[in-house]
Amino acid sequence: MTTPAEHLISVDGSDVRFACAEGDTLLRAALRAGVGLAYECNSGGCGSCRYDLVEGEMHDRRPDAPGLSPRDRRKGRKLACQSQPRSDCTIKVGQMVGQARHRPFRQTAQLRSKTLLTHDMQEFVFAAQSHAGFRPGQYAMITLPDGQVERAYSMSNLGNCYGEWKFVVKRMPGGRATAALFDDTEVGSEVTLDGPFGHAYLREDGNRRIVCAGGGSGLGAMISIVLGVAARPDSRDWTVHLFCGGRTRKDLHIPESIAFAGRQLGALNVHTAISDEHDDGVRAEVEGAEPFRGFLHEAVLDRLAGSLTDFTYYAAGPPAMTDALARALVLDAGVAADHLHYDRFC
């Protein structure tokens, strides 16, 4: 077996050097080597991984990526998550984040089960050969069986030594990956998992009063965080507010594991929010209190009024939701920016 060629990457103005295997991206090679380049989405959407190429040849795997503005393009900027070195290169980055905390690795995994959760949400369970090493709230890149489409999905379970990776996926109307996952990927199909990635993981030594806000596709990451707190030896010292949002009641789903987790916690408060004023109240998937009428960030502001700055926040979901929450908490309510953790789903 031959090993792929490697290119040496040097970071301008520093003594940081790392190897990038042919075909790997600049960002992932850096993280695999423990080098903390800035990033969030790993998908070309957020622009956090912008850099300048000083020297060398770079292939751009998504030339139209929305993470670069017209101004960035005029200046020749690139995205580390979409760049594949074709030679030794020197790059210039605005900011290094020290050492990468979590080193991702690629492995194949088999689809073990797919379970319908709502009309447009399914749980996918994959089994890999080696351990599933990740922190609650992190995500992996899944390459679908055709080898062409790769997307980011957050794990909804906890890291484990038996190689089980669970994801909650919401179908995107007309979406390429979700159509392939929901309609064409059968139990037994093989995918490639690359991970873990992401900064919105549970801070275990931090504030023990936390809020988990998951809108639609963000549910999986928030389940993982609640389970992560419940598995801690000091779980009874923790207070958790879980907010789940959707357009109508039929978009809401609270898995049974949340109720079990609740028994291990000091307090678990589950809140739901629906944004469509024409919701007809049909099929309340979620038992309990009437959902808040409005957007998820409005539900957080309403239900925690007077105590917003007491909490550390984890959020996942569509960018419109996480942006609105960030604005409401940090700009309007005075929550410290480092008390809010999310990776943009863009």
Ligand X SMILES: Cc1cc2nc3c(=O)[nH]c(=O)nc-3n(C[C@H](O)[C@H](O)[C@H](O)COP(=O)(O)OP(=O)(O)OC[C@H]3O[C@@H](n4cnc5c(N)ncnc54)[C@H](O)[C@@H]3O)c2cc1C
The contact set with ligand X (CB under 6 A) reads: 41, 43-45, 62, 139, 151-154, 167-170, 172, 175-178, 198, 217, 220-221, 343, 345-346
Q: Near ligand FES by CB under 6 A, which window of 46-54, 175-183, 263-271, 317-325? A: 46-54
Q: Please tell me whether residue 49 binds ligand FES under the rule CB under 6 A.
A: yes
Residues 179-208 that bind ligand FES (CB under 6 A): none
Shortest distance, CB of residue 82 to ligand FES, whole angstroms? Answer: 7
62 versus 203: smaller Cβ distance to ligand X:
62
Shortest distance, CB of residue 134 to ligand X, whole angstroms? Answer: 12
CA–CA distance, 49 with 37 (Å, rounded to integer): 7
Residues 54-93 that bind ligand FES (CB under 6 A): 67, 79, 81
Binding partner selected for residue 232 from ligand FES, ligand X, none, CB under the kind-specific 5 to 8 Å limit: none
Q: Which of 24, 31, 48, 85 binds ligand FES (CB under 6 A)?
A: 48
Shortest distance, CB of residue 346 to ligand FES, whole angstroms? Answer: 7
Cis, peptide link before residue 196, omega less than 30° from 0: yes
3-state secondary structure of 29: helix
Q: CB under 8 Å to 53, separation ≥6 — which residues?
A: 76, 78, 83, 89, 90, 91, 92
Q: Contacts with ligand FES: how many residues (CB under 6 A)?
A: 13
Write the binding mask 6 to 45 for ligand FES: x where contact by CB under 6 A, - elsewhere: ---------------------------------xxxx-xx
| Residue among 42, 81, 45, 137 nearest 342 (CA) | 137
76, burial (CB in 10 Å: exposed 0-12, middle 13-18, buried 19+): exposed
CA–CA distance, 325 with 90 (Å, rounded to integer): 38
85 versus 220: smaller Cβ distance to ligand X:
220
| Residue among 9, 14, 12 nearest 24 (CA) | 9
Q: Containing H/E element for 35? A: strand 35-37
In this structure, are residues 85 and 60 in contact, taking their beta carbons and an 8 Å threshold? no
Binding positions for ligand FES, rule: CB under 6 A: 39-42, 44-49, 67, 79, 81
